[in-house]
Amino acid sequence: MTETELTPSLTRRIIGLPREARVICAGMFINKFGNFLSVFLVLYLTHRGYSPFLAGAALGTIGFGGFLGNAVGGTVADRIGRRWTIVVSMFGTAVFTLLVPLADDIGPIIALSLAVGFLAQLYRPAAGAILVDTVPARDLIAAVSLLRLAMNLGMAVGSVVGGVLSVMSYTYLFVGNAVTCLLFGLLVLALLPETRPGSSREAGTTPRGGYRTVFRDRAMVLYLMSMFAATYVYVQTTATLPLHVRQQGDGNEFYGVLLGVNALLIVLFELPLVRFTERRPPRHVIALGVVLLGAGVALTGVANAQGALVATVVLWTLGEMIYTPVATAYPGLLAPDYLRGRYQGAEGVAVTVAQTAGPAAGGFLYGHTAIGHWVLCGVIAVLGAAFMLAAKPAGAAT
């Protein structure tokens, strides 16, 4: 089959995705478009006169809430259902987000931030499980890539809109965030049926298992270790890369250019790369992507010119585009149907923990030995790739 024949085939497959997948992609665009609170919370709190430490503490509680939300969301999605998990998540997030600007002290604000973080991530395992429930296995990586495209476009456009709203009034940010959550919830109520598999229960048997079953799955545990490693390395692109850019004498504008290069490459090339990644063994694709990610981030330490920094961004973005869609789909390939939510939740927990620990650990190490920090990123990525190669499901041929 020729290259030109493959492109229309991929396009037709994406157009032909089940309605449930398209609803989730549309909802995620809306959700990421309005994700103003976590992006602007530190600026909002310092504007109100709170110290950077307290503002950072509030932001940190959102991350901790997200950790809990992923863990609980996996169980709720499997026991109660995907649809209502998303609805409760979105409506609850809207309510607590609107309460943040009404709080008159940092204590209630931190408590509300914890609730927002928990509820805002409660939906995540359910959304991932819906894709696995409804999309044929051959199209799952393409569906995940489309989902990531929707998320990236939503974040890109939303960041611009959020910046404009913050100049007008921070209150508009919270209202906008709440409105987009309500829209996602209403979209799910109106268009999304329940997709949780019920064949075993209908047959009169009750599937047993929970997170204990997930963590007894050797392949899944190794996959989670790989994702923790990859995410730790990836978050350095927002945690310590800006410090390196500043140390080289460049300003925030150039750092913004680097992020723009990353976003543009993803929008243009991630979906076309599906034709390459979906035809190879998933473990090998993920391992390759993680190695490229690590190489690009590690080489930041010796990139002392703008052109060299752009080249490192291209390299680690290539790794991101190769491994992320396949890695996101991978828990669905391992999970029994009655544990899909928990498998998705476990992945979310591993990623959230790395997203929380990575900036703190990376910033600490960068402050003591910058070159050691970048070398360690490369080492961690190689370990992550090794974990992934070892994550061979029982009975798998490759």
Pick the residue with more confidence: 352 or 54?
A: 352
Which string of b and e fits 335-366 if b means at least 16 CB within 10 Å? bebbbbbbbbbbbbbbbbbbbbebbebbeebb
Q: What is the pLDDT of residue 208?
A: 65
Task: Name the band, by pLDDT with cuts 50, 70 and 90, for residue 281.
Answer: very high
Highest mean pLDDT out of 29-38, 137-146, 218-227: 218-227
Q: What is the mean pLDDT of residues 198-219?
A: 71
- Cα dist from 255 to 114, 237, 248, 258, 259, whole Å: 30, 10, 11, 5, 6
Task: Name the band, by pLDDT with cuts 50, 70 and 90, for residue 194.
Answer: very high
Q: What is the pTM of this model?
A: 0.86
Instruction: Check whether 107 has a pLDDT greater than 60.
Output: yes
Highest mean pLDDT out of 153-162, 178-187, 275-284: 178-187
Instruction: Check whether 312 has a pLDDT greater than 50.
Output: yes
Q: What is the mean pLDDT of residues 1-12?
A: 52
- Rg of the chain over all Cα atoms, to the nearest angstrom: 21
Mean pLDDT of the chain: 89
**Rounded to whole angstroms, how far apart are CA atoms 370 and 382?**
19
End-to-end, the C-alpha distance of the chain in Å comes to: 24
**Rounded to whole angstroms, how far apart are CA atoms 142 and 138?**
8
Residue from 370, 242, 237, 226 nearest 315 by CA = 237
**Rounded to whole angstroms, how far apart are CA atoms 303 and 334?**
39
Instruction: Check whether 207 has a pLDDT greater than 80.
Output: no
Q: What is the pLDDT of residue 8?
A: 44
Instruction: Check whether 278 has a pLDDT greater than 70.
Output: yes
**Rounded to whole angstroms, how far apart are CA atoms 350 and 226?**
9
Q: Which helix (H) or strand (E) holds 116?
A: helix 106-122
Burial of 139 (0-12, 13-18, 19+ CB in 10 A): buried
Phi–psi pair at 278, nearest 5 degrees:
-75, -10
Counting residues of the chain whose pLDDT is more than 90, the rounded percentage is: 61
Q: What is the pLDDT of residue 34?
A: 87
Which string of b and e fits 297-322 if b means at least 16 CB within 10 Å? bbbbbebeeeeebeebbebbbbbbbb
- For the ranges 59-73, 135-149, 156-170, the lowest mean pLDDT is seen at 156-170
List, as own/partner pairs, every contact residues 159-165 make where C-beta atoms lie below 8 angstroms and the sequence separation is at least 24, other chains included.
Answer: 159/39, 161/33, 162/36, 162/39, 162/40, 165/36
Q: What is the pLDDT of residue 133?
A: 94
Q: What is the mean pLDDT of residues 40-52?
A: 84
**Rounded to whole angstroms, how far apart are CA atoms 43 and 40?**
5
Q: What is the pLDDT of residue 54?
A: 84
Q: Which residues contact 327 (CB under 8 A, 6 or more apart)?
A: 223, 226, 227, 230, 286, 289
Whose structure tokens read 């929380």? 356
Instruction: Check whether 41 has a pLDDT greater than 80.
Output: yes
Q: What is the mean pLDDT of residues 52-79?
A: 89
Q: What is the pLDDT of residue 46?
A: 85
**Rounded to whole angstroms, how far apart are CA atoms 9 and 17?**
12
Q: Which residues contact 397 (CB under 8 A, 6 or more apart)?
A: none
